[in-house]
Structure 1
Amino acid sequence: MTDVGEIIKALNDFGRFQHWLVLMITLITPITGFHVFSQLFMVIPVSHHCNTSWLDTISLNLTGEERLNLTIPRKPDGTLEQCLMYTPVDSNLETILQSRLTSTEKCQDGWVYPSKPEPSLVTQFNLVCDRKDLIDISQSIFMSGLLVGAVVLGPFSDWCGRRPVALLSLFLQGVSGVAAAFAPSFYLYCALRFLLGTGLSGIIISSVALCTEWVGVAYRPHTIIASHVTFALGQMILAGLAYGLRDWRHLQIAGSAPVFFFLFYIWVLPESARWLVTKGKIEEAKKLLQKAASVNKRTIPPKLLEQLKPEKKAKSATVLDLLRNPHLAKVTLIISSIWFVNSLAYYGLSLNVGSFGLNIYLTQVIFGAVEIPARILCIFLMEWLGRKKCQSFCLFLGGTFSLLITAIPKDLPVVIATLAILGKFTMAASFSTSYVFSAELFPTIVRQTGLGVCQMTARVAGIISPLVGLLGRYHTSFPVVIFGSAAVLGGIISLLLPETLGKELPDHVDELANNPRKSKAANGSVENGCAKPNKDNCISEKITTTRF
């Protein structure tokens, strides 16, 4: 029986067909980076004070300044209180002028925005004072959509295919993204953002699976890094669009409407040949493989196609399989904790881009730009330091940079922003390291399940991260201290994991405890799980179904 991996080698591990496929996938990835952080530019703080038009019923002869002096208390620095007003009284103007109003209360009739800012979520839905917390809550709702998308659309992709889920997710993203721009209430906006997050998660899952199942084993990391780099490009594009489009509705449409252009993927996006074979659709898989070979200007030996048979379906792994073996349970606990703290700190820094003292648009561009070299550099660091030390170094350093922010005076915004950028740099590198390290720690039989658990903990951290920001009302340093401390702790516990650099990938759980993994040097320089002498005959790993 022929394995799909052998045929992919025959038609070229990474030929023109795969180049076009990866290009199509990476073209839609920047939209993910846009939407994850787009709300930051829709909730930029604006000056405001309570609406005190009640005084107009008593006198219309007062100037705006006189009315504010009578109805709005002032802070010690002389500026107007933003969330307090003097309690209205049923008296004539002369009585009010003589006795002056002293009793205060919260705003009763809404707010006024004297600077006449461009429409934003803040001004559209009055997300100020007691309603300000809704900003962070809405971001957590969006992150919840990402989590639900991973849990629901992941198995759905295994059932009906990568291509249908990718197309459905694109459509869901486009519709919910554009509809959010016309939401008449903030709660409907949050619901649409939840659906948007679900669609984004579906795109990520199906597109990454589609790419990795079409390329050779040696090129799978390249497709992951490519998606990470274009995600960073999306953050930079966001800053440029937000700078030019100050109306939040225009910005939302600009980041969502282009998705409909990619609906032509209905006609050009291929299905995964590997998935077709696992489902017994051999003839469809053969036609698709021959088409790929034609694009790559290769010929698949007829014998290989004739011997192509449905792959024996492996028994699906469950989360319980990760806990039965003590060693694997320890690895799962530690690596999933690392994903959690990494995601918590990464989004903690990214979602607070406007609080570091510099121009938010410039800072966002830099935040996106530093991720590109960070993601690429981690590849060399992993080879030089090893996976364990690289993971620990990046997390510990990123956490240290975050903690140092709290020690810098607020009147030094350049220093604060520099530390934040360095923290984002190291956190991004740590994230890419986690993908490689985790894949090498889990045995093949439970690898997909282990990675699924890790990604779920990262999504949970993404939900919590905006809520941690609410602690800033008690002290501005609390959120940053939590993010930094979590990263430092993650860097320390990383050292408890075994090193995987130069080691063979384990296939079964019993190999972890009973037979320590041999190094590649001791096995004919194994490359990507395949010994060099027999590299041409090496069979790609089979993708197992993940169940949560």
Structure 2
Amino acid sequence: MADPTSLLPQPNREEDPETPSNNLHHSLDQIIEQSEASFGWNQFLQSILVSLASLFDGTQTFISVYTDATPTWHCTSGTTTCNSSSDICDLSTSDWAWDSISSKTIISDWNLQCSSSFITGLPASSYFMGGVIGGLLLGTLADSSLGRKRLLVISCITMSVAAFATIFSTNVWIYSALRFVSGIGRSCISTCVLVLLMERVGRKWRPRVGIMQFFFFTLGFLSLPAIAYINRANSWRALYLCTSIPAMLYCFLLQFFVKESPRWLFMNGRGEEAIAILKKSALSNPNSEFNSVLLSADLLSQVPESTKSIDPYKSMKDLFAKKWAMKRTLIVMVLGFGIGMVYYGMPLGVGNLGFNIYLSVMFNALLEIPSYPLTLIILEKWSRKLSVLWFCLVSGICGVVCAVVGDKQKVIRIVLELASFFCSRTAWNLISMFTVELFPTCVRNSATSLLRQSYILSAVFSSMLVSVGSSNGFLSYGVFGVAIFVSGFFVAFLPDTRGGTLCDTMDEQERKESMILG
């Protein structure tokens, strides 16, 4: 039987010493490299449609900055007991009033201004805890029964419908429960988007396409100050209405126009579908030699049997069955937790810095944009390991100094907060794409999901620390800085993946790395 790889140009061993000699990987990886050698309109539109899910994820993630904030108030009586430094919990309700409508946020709507930090921080923590639990329960299904696209559709529908239902909440407990459901829904969005984007293209385009997920998340984050400002005279429910309806409409586009990952289809016994998708992509590349490969029936004969009957959580178990995989998984989870403490904690806590909340959130969102070209330069030219380490260290130092600087140094504090946030954003970009390259197709989404869940778990703690940090800055910003600083050193135990290929099975990953070590 003819070897299908003979129809392809053989790899240059000097240029690509890491390419393993396994026929399945050889054929599939080379086909993807050829069919996606250029980035045509088909790939561009698919990437945009997939990345839009991250935009709606970004709006829901940080919407609590506005909906759960304590509004400003003013004194209504001429007594000396009421002034700008007074605690409204010590005042009579006739001595003060909110500056805007009473339903501006959930705090003023449900009279939570004097409630404990546990109650006021519960909705945000519930959202992030839903993300943790949802990721653990659903993340591995993208590697097994559901696939990347189907899980992404289910996640977007759950998140957007729960966000819309939040409008009808009558108390903080129902509100928190719906935020929990919304968190479960969004738990797999970022991982599915990132993996789906990067598995569709060759190694040249992986960093450039993968960065789109982060860019669209930032657009969602950046849209919030504008939406909140436009609705500043309206109830908090208007924010959920403006963000949930477009997200629900988007789910229809996702279902009918987005294609599945060809790598996942191939590994799950659906080779004809995978080849059809690659062929369509190749049509936009006039230099592609992909059509000659399509004529070979031998390629389809290498397609593995369908894995639908296998335990849907097998990929998660495989991550901890192999010593090398378990080591990598635990390390990226530690890194995700430390980076997440700063990335989520800093924006959620800007209200404690005494700076304009609209400008603060806008500055944080805008600062994410320059992190993307910087990430691309780093991924193409420098070591992933050293880059993640340095950004974690700088972010940690800025976070600790921000906590130490006094309340009177508002400008210095906001500059340090922005610097710490920028470094954490860049570190997250790097470790996310680094993780995709560290694991094979059969467990890639599960591994990326665990990274994401540790990242979200840190948000549960950081949102609580933000409430506590209103009276003690070091318990919020100081802890955030220490967490990312310490976690950064763990990256030293990971191998660098710059210039490498993506493997499809655990055995291929082991063979590839044994060749490198040999």
Scaled by the length of structure 1, the TM-score of the pair is 0.76
CA–CA separation in structure 1 for the residues paired with 2:499 and 2:203: 16
Equivalent of 2:199 in 200, 204, 213: 213
CA–CA separation in structure 2 for the residues paired with 1:487 and 1:169: 29
Query: Could you say if the C-alpha distance between residues 216 and 370 of structure 1 is closer, same or farther in structure 2, counting changes exceeding 3 Å?
Result: same
Q: Contact 1:43 / 1:120 at 8 angstroms: preserved in 2? A: yes
Matches within 5 A, 1:134-173: 134-157=119-142, 158-173=144-159
Matches within 5 A, 1:316-465: 316-319=314-317, 322=320, 325=323, 330-381=327-378, 386-441=383-438, 449-465=446-462
Counterpart of 2:99?
Answer: 115
Query: Could you say if the C-alpha distance between residues 391 and 293 of structure 1 is closer, same or farther in structure 2, counting changes exceeding 3 Å?
Result: closer
Counterpart of 1:250?
Answer: 238
Deviations 1:238-262 (A, max 9, x none): 1111111122111111111112332
Aligned to 1:113, the other structure's residue is in SS state strand
CA–CA separation in structure 2 for the residues paired with 1:391 and 1:7: 32
Deviations 1:121-171 (A, max 9, x none): 111122211245323221111012222332233233331333333333332
**More displaced stretch, 3-12 vs 471-480:** 3-12
CA–CA separation in structure 2 for the residues paired with 1:15 and 1:420: 40
Query: Could you say if the C-alpha distance between residues 310 and 454 of structure 1 is closer, same or farther in structure 2, counting changes exceeding 3 Å?
Result: same
Aligned to 2:405, the other structure's residue is in SS state coil
* Aligned residue identity for 2:49: M
Matches within 5 A, 1:125-204: 125-157=110-142, 158-204=144-190
CA–CA separation in structure 2 for the residues paired with 1:281 and 1:356: 54
* Aligned residue identity for 2:426: A
Aligned to 2:145, the other structure's residue is in SS state helix
Counterpart of 1:517?
Answer: 517
Residue 48 of structure 1 deviates from its aligned partner by 5.9
Aligned to 2:404, the other structure's residue is in SS state coil
Equivalent of 1:40 in 65, 86, 89: 65
CA–CA separation in structure 1 for the residues paired with 2:489 and 2:467: 27
How many corresponding residue pairs? 476
CA–CA separation in structure 1 for the residues paired with 2:517 and 2:45: 37
CA–CA separation in structure 1 for the residues paired with 2:500 and 2:273: 37
Q: Contact 2:128 / 2:183 at 8 angstroms: preserved in 1? A: yes
Counterpart of 2:55?
Answer: 30
Counterpart of 1:65?
Answer: 77
**More displaced stretch, 468-477 vs 439-448:** 439-448
* Aligned residue identity for 2:160: G
* Aligned residue identity for 1:242: A
| Higher Cα Rg, which structure | 1
Deviations 1:365-421 (A, max 9, x none): 211111121132133345555222211110010011111112322222111111111
Q: Contact 2:332 / 2:451 at 8 angstroms: preserved in 1? A: yes
Counterpart of 2:303?
Answer: 311
Q: Contact 1:400 / 1:484 at 8 angstroms: preserved in 2? A: yes
CA–CA separation in structure 1 for the residues paired with 2:84 and 2:159: 47
* Aligned residue identity for 2:122: I
* Aligned residue identity for 2:196: L
CA–CA separation in structure 2 for the residues paired with 1:440 and 1:382: 12
Query: Could you say if the C-alpha distance between residues 27 and 474 of structure 1 is closer, same or farther in structure 2, counting changes exceeding 3 Å?
Result: closer
CA–CA separation in structure 1 for the residues paired with 2:349 and 2:219: 19
**More displaced stretch, 236-245 vs 186-195:** 186-195
CA–CA separation in structure 2 for the residues paired with 1:275 and 1:82: 57
Scaled by the length of structure 2, the TM-score of the pair is 0.80
CA–CA separation in structure 2 for the residues paired with 1:78 and 1:296: 65
Residue 22 of structure 1 deviates from its aligned partner by 0.0
Q: Contact 2:162 / 2:179 at 8 angstroms: preserved in 1? A: yes
* Aligned residue identity for 2:347: S
Residue 490 of structure 1 deviates from its aligned partner by 2.0
Residue 208 of structure 1 deviates from its aligned partner by 3.1
Residue 360 of structure 1 deviates from its aligned partner by 1.4
Deviations 1:433-463 (A, max 9, x none): 2124334555777655544433332222122
Q: Contact 1:357 / 1:414 at 8 angstroms: preserved in 2? A: no
CA–CA separation in structure 1 for the residues paired with 2:109 and 2:138: 33
Query: Could you say if the C-alpha distance between residues 512 and 478 of structure 1 is closer, same or farther in structure 2, counting changes exceeding 3 Å?
Result: farther
Q: Is residue 2:264 matched to residue 1:275? A: yes
Query: Could you say if the C-alpha distance between residues 305 and 25 of structure 1 is closer, same or farther in structure 2, counting changes exceeding 3 Å?
Result: farther
Q: Contact 1:398 / 1:487 at 8 angstroms: preserved in 2? A: yes
Query: Could you say if the C-alpha distance between residues 349 and 81 of structure 1 is closer, same or farther in structure 2, counting changes exceeding 3 Å?
Result: closer
Residue 300 of structure 1 deviates from its aligned partner by 2.4
CA–CA separation in structure 2 for the residues paired with 1:387 and 1:197: 30
Counterpart of 2:89?
Answer: 83
CA–CA separation in structure 1 for the residues paired with 2:265 and 2:443: 22
Counterpart of 1:12?
Answer: 36
Q: Contact 1:48 / 1:111 at 8 angstroms: preserved in 2? A: no
Query: Could you say if the C-alpha distance between residues 255 and 79 of structure 1 is closer, same or farther in structure 2, counting changes exceeding 3 Å?
Result: same
Q: Contact 1:382 / 1:390 at 8 angstroms: preserved in 2? A: no
Deviations 1:455-475 (A, max 9, x none): 332222122211222332552
Deviations 1:152-208 (A, max 9, x none): 332333313333333333322332111212222222221222222222223334333
CA–CA separation in structure 2 for the residues paired with 1:434 and 1:115: 43
CA–CA separation in structure 2 for the residues paired with 1:119 and 1:78: 20
Q: Contact 1:375 / 1:428 at 8 angstroms: preserved in 2? A: no
Deviations 1:287-306 (A, max 9, x none): 54444445657772341467
Structure 1 gap segments, 5+ residues each: 51-63, 87-106, 519-548
* Aligned residue identity for 2:363: I
Q: Is residue 2:300 matched to residue 1:300? A: no
Residue 33 of structure 1 deviates from its aligned partner by 1.1
Matches within 5 A, 1:485-524: 485-495=482-492, 497=494, 499-501=496-498, 517=517
Residue 483 of structure 1 deviates from its aligned partner by 0.6
Residue 341 of structure 1 deviates from its aligned partner by 0.7
Query: Could you say if the C-alpha distance between residues 276 and 192 of structure 1 is closer, same or farther in structure 2, counting changes exceeding 3 Å?
Result: same
RMSD across aligned positions (CA): 3.5
Aligned to 1:167, the other structure's residue is in SS state helix
Query: Could you say if the C-alpha distance between residues 207 and 328 of structure 1 is closer, same or farther in structure 2, counting changes exceeding 3 Å?
Result: closer
Deviations 1:45-101 (A, max 9, x none): 235699xxxxxxxxxxxxx738xx5xxx937x7855411368xxxxxxxxxxxxxxx
CA–CA separation in structure 2 for the residues paired with 1:202 and 1:169: 6
Deviations 1:325-368 (A, max 9, x none): 3x665554433212211111211112112222321111212111
CA–CA separation in structure 2 for the residues paired with 1:130 and 1:481: 25
Aligned to 1:40, the other structure's residue is in SS state helix
Residue 324 of structure 1 deviates from its aligned partner by 5.5
